[in-house]
A and B are shown apart, each in its own frame.
Chain A
């Protein structure tokens, strides 16, 4: 029935066509042609209008002047001229030709100059030479690497450990191995530069919470919870991480780990812990901040640390459950695409672990020295000590911050002068160095004071007096 109805319409149309006056048909014909023309012609010639002729292009190319490759660095830029160390940067250090007592190198346990470590490194050198000439995947895995990984895992009491050939690359590669675009990372404002670079490489959403402020972190987590309820489908695939440091290199204080673990289970967020400053320092056996707080290490999803401070070698490692760590063997960029750690350096790290395991007293000694230094540095006019009494790398900051960053920064040369004067009096301290424009939250300028177990009480007193006198003379 429908079909016959449509047929009728068609017949009517044909009839109407016959009955229409000629001018009407002509008009409609013109209209149809017009539509066809409009369909096939460009409405306006955008292409032609913006296209440059070759001559114009050549002129543009001729005309364009790029900025210089790098801006000129002024000759008196504070970080252009480095202090030159001749001889080993150990307890006694020769800086710019002057022998000083070292309060600047992160050689907390004095293992840099340790004979046992050197003997092992030499034995390894004799067997393996220096370089590995390949990444781990392509014959760059040596028995020494496997041994070091096993030893680190055992030392930290975790299932597995993975080593990197450079400390900086460790956490900077580990974070983007897990956290991808769209994932959320909650991170402390005081986080060190390698964490910042890892976050940047991950392209995740980054949420900074105030330094060690658990209320602020919880506020962010709650906000996220509300956000998640709005879009539960997205929430089910959005990974969340908290990234903190055990002992912050920038502030020399410790993260409130037990609270963080509570928040972890409450809000279902994983914790990545950077322990470069606390590994081989905190805890009865030097296992770091988990031992310090007696937190179950399995509650931390990933721990990373470098072997360039307490261990006094080169490289870094991550440890944790195999489920987590093993993933980096295919996804950790600094692991897969870089030559592996020279066996000699791995051998040195193994021997350092031996020493740390055989003689856990060194951690107690270190803690005592730290307390001593912390106490001696109190009450210096114009300077305040920043950091925990058990932190081996303290900061001396201006006592009264002027309130404005700029005036504080103007005090930088004064800091340097203090360092120079100390150098003159045979105490090596340095200014903590940062890239002002690159840091997310630039730490206040400070003088770094590093404690090692080799410093004697007399030397510590001498250093404290020296800094006090320099500060008196310069900061006034």
Chain B
């Protein structure tokens, strides 16, 4: 079957029939010959046993209720704004200085409507301060508000040993075992924590070069360059690669840093539907055949930008299909592995390894060290020409400080760990452990009847909550059960698709996961958020077609 495995489940719950009906490639029979039609270039063999992305749709009444919910809060917001205008309600918002009253207002009134009337009511669910390691459990600082969330007061008490389902600590390398951190501590003693210069001037330390060689080796590419901030790796390097007269084809769910980088580059940006190969191919075809708008000159180059794991959907990129497309249309591929590097693949080499592909097929490999590596910063890797060009033209290399030496050392330590250097295969064990945990956690959630998005191998697990009130109740109820979760809603997600997002870690013990699952079961029933209409048969799909063997 020619599919990347995007699976839409509809009311009938009949997997096979809906799969065909909604499959974006089998419905398009009148289109010109394409890569993804029967008889196309690929025979789809790779689709066999490949992990699938799931997006089950919510019942209609849920969507309706969600809009009603937002409607009520909005109306109430207007009512309260009216009361504030009449000074019947106290206004807590920080005020502009008296001297600046005649200036053009810094914020438009409607800009802050959402913050003032919606976000403020529920703001206790974000920015919760912690005072320990962000490991599998952490300590939260207790916060209370005396004025309905306008200000918070720290009580000085801590909530101990809250199970952490929010941090991107996929491999559990956010750890403070002194023995593991020996080399990092040495880096602090030897180097200090800063660099006080850019890479091109006087901030190119020997350990930066060591790290870059290691990253290249780890990824199986010719060369790599590292940068001090993950976000800036995207936003400061994309402009060096493309510019005016170039076309960027970007997945609609790409991270802000990619979008910012694309915007700063000055290239034309077109958006394709999330993971939708038909949409991408149509754009590619159109771009190559019609060239630039108005001038009709051919594009200088076309860059496809995708992510390995999409952080809000938990879905995996359809890499084999995209590579086939990019080869056919001679586009370049920029793969952001922020969440997937370290977390996917039998030896943690990311989504490329998961699909059994060759890293050389991807032109620009990007990733961050913030997640699986428990550090900070990012890399870009690929051919030597690419990295040489970045070394001389990257905005980051010329204008931004080099990476902190102890942070660099942490990354070196972790990569060596995953590669099994230094005598233990602890790193590899964690990669497998993460996969086990992920599959277990996802399977149990589906058994319970929650709607879970994404791929069964993705450690990012979004649980759909839909209704704004339930989002808040869910987060608070979980915290009462000593579990820290992340909830996200509009504007980070579509307005009807608010969700909780769990990040599974290799450091979670089975016991912790069970505790979380039990709590979820209870809260799920109490809030009636088990929206799934899938008849899930627990045993049929379990571990079938797995490409992970623990002894590999």
Contacts and interface: CB of A to CB of B under 8 A. Distances in A.
Interface of A: 52, 54, 57-58, 60-61, 64-73, 77, 79-80, 82-90, 93, 95, 102, 104-107, 112-114, 117-118, 121-122, 125-134, 136-143, 145-146, 165-169, 178, 192-194, 197, 200-201, 235-240, 265, 268-270, 298, 301, 306, 308-309, 311-314, 321-324, 326-327, 329-330, 333-334, 336-339, 341-342, 344-345, 348, 428, 430-435, 438, 448
A166 B130 contact: no
Given A131-B410, A133-B168, A265-B99, 20 more contacts: A66-B299, A66-B331, A67-B300, A69-B364, A82-B199, A85-B205, A129-B181, A130-B407, A134-B167, A136-B127, A168-B229, A168-B232, A235-B104, A313-B193, A314-B228, A327-B106, A342-B375, A430-B197, A433-B198, A438-B395
A130 B127 contact: no
Given A80-B391, A106-B197, A138-B166, A65 B330 contact: yes
B399 A64 contact: no
A132 B168 CA distance: 9
B115 A348 contact: no
A252 to B, nearest CB: 15
B300 to A, nearest CB: 5
Contacts of A83: 202, 204
A130 B374 contact: yes
25 contacts: A66-B332, A73-B392, A73-B393, A88-B190, A112-B196, A125-B185, A129-B181, A130-B374, A130-B375, A136-B127, A139-B484, A194-B400, A237-B104, A265-B99, A306-B401, A312-B193, A313-B194, A314-B194, A314-B195, A330-B119, A333-B260, A337-B255, A345-B404, A348-B193, A438-B239
A82 B200 contact: yes
Interface of B: 32-33, 94-97, 99-100, 102-108, 115, 119, 126-135, 138, 141, 164, 166-169, 173-176, 178, 181, 184-185, 188-206, 209, 228-232, 235-236, 239, 241, 255-257, 260, 263-264, 285, 288-289, 298-302, 328-332, 363-364, 368-371, 373-376, 385-386, 388-393, 395-401, 404-407, 410, 484, 486
Contact of A339 (B178, B191, B376): B376
A327 B299 contact: no
Contacts of B388: 73, 80
Given A339-B230, A433-B200, A314 B329 contact: no
Given A87-B190, A118-B192, A312-B196, A72 B385 contact: yes
Given A139-B164, A312-B192, A131 B385 contact: no
Q: Most chain-B CB neighbours within 10 Å: which of A66, A87, A105, A432? A: A66
Nearest to A128: B133
A130 B302 contact: no
Contacts of B330: 64-66
Task: In the A-B complex, list the 4 residue pairs whose CB atoms are closest, starting with the nearest.
Answer: A166-B229, A70-B389, A338-B231, A82-B204
Contacts of A113: 192
A57 B32 contact: yes
Given A73-B389, A73-B392, A201 B410 contact: no
Contacts of A134: 134, 166-168
B127 A137 contact: yes
Contacts of A311: 194
Contacts, number: 361
Contacts of B298: 64
A139 B167 contact: yes
Contacts of A104: 197, 201-202
Contacts of A87: 190-191, 206
A405 to B, nearest CB: 19
Contacts of A308: 194-196, 401
B167 A129 contact: no
Contact of A73 (B33, B257, B288, B385): B385
A129 B176 contact: yes
Nearest to A298: B97
Q: Most chain-B CB neighbours within 10 Å: which of A58, A139, A265? A: A139
A451 B405 CA distance: 22
A141 to B, nearest CB: 5
A87 B192 CA distance: 10
B193 A64 contact: no
Contacts of A107: 194, 196
A22 to B, nearest CB: 50
A262 B147 CA distance: 39
B194 A312 contact: yes
A83 B329 CA distance: 40
A129 B174 contact: yes
B398 A125 contact: no
A457 to B, nearest CB: 22
A339 B363 CA distance: 26
B201 A322 contact: no
B31 to A, nearest CB: 9
Contacts of B289: 52, 57, 60-61
A130 B200 contact: no
B371 A133 contact: yes
Contacts of B236: 168, 197
A84 B263 CA distance: 33
Contacts of B370: 131-133, 339
Contact of A57 (B108, B239, B285): B285
Given A80-B392, A118-B189, A105 B197 contact: yes
Contacts of B396: 168
B302 to A, nearest CB: 6
Contacts of B203: 85, 89, 105
Contact of A88 (B102, B181, B192): B192
A133 B256 contact: no
Contact of B205 (A86, A194, A322): A86
B264 A200 contact: yes
A460 B51 CA distance: 64
A306 B373 CA distance: 25
